Amino acid sequence: MTAKQWSISLYLLLTAMTLGAVVVLGIFVAATIFHSNNFLAGTMLTHYDQGLLMTEIFRRFSYFLGFFAIVVFAFEGNEYKRGRRDNIAMIAAFFIIATTLMFSGVYTPEIMALQKEGAQATQSDAFAALHMGSEIDFKILAVALATLFIRRMRLMFVKK
């Protein structure tokens, strides 16, 4: 395999891993955490405690997302520089970088700040709107990751 093939393969692997993590966190982990009382005999977590657990998971995942945003920027920037431009991949990369920065730089820190104020602050309309925004951001990230993965896979098989 050539260096280009290795780099594209690793990039696709990392993109697929990130998409998988987003899906697993959004569907399985959140559902398990927020229904943990169904699984824990004798232990009752409050909704606030469940939120704290979920936030810690997302805080840790934010570090990986930051790393991945750098990888996307570097790879897609290199593709652009070398004249291998693809509008769909560039748009998907833009959304990945933007949503990643929003999630790890705005939503997660803001949610953590409100949680530090206590359970009362997490029941406000401001918190609900912030949380809804983070969910939408995460869904856009998932769509952008899937789009980028599929587009880069397709471009691998196009002869130029």
Chunked in runs of 10, what are the mean pLDDT values of the chain (160 residues)? 89 98 95 87 86 95 97 96 93 98 96 94 94 96 98 84
Q: What is the C-alpha to C-alpha distance for residues 32 and 45, in angstroms, rounded to an integer?
A: 12
Write down the pTM of the prediction. 0.91
Q: What is the C-alpha to C-alpha distance for residues 33 and 48, in angstroms, rounded to an integer?
A: 11
| The pLDDT value given to residue 159 | 65
Q: What is the C-alpha to C-alpha distance for residues 136 and 8, in angstroms, rounded to an integer?
A: 29
Domain count, the chain: 1
Q: What is the C-alpha to C-alpha distance for residues 145 and 91, in angstroms, rounded to an integer?
A: 11
| The pLDDT value given to residue 101 | 96
Tokens representing residue 100 in the block: 């990643």
Residue ranges making up the domain that contains 129: 3-156
Q: Identify which of 75, 111, 109, 107 has the alpha carbon closest to the alpha carbon of residue 92.
A: 75
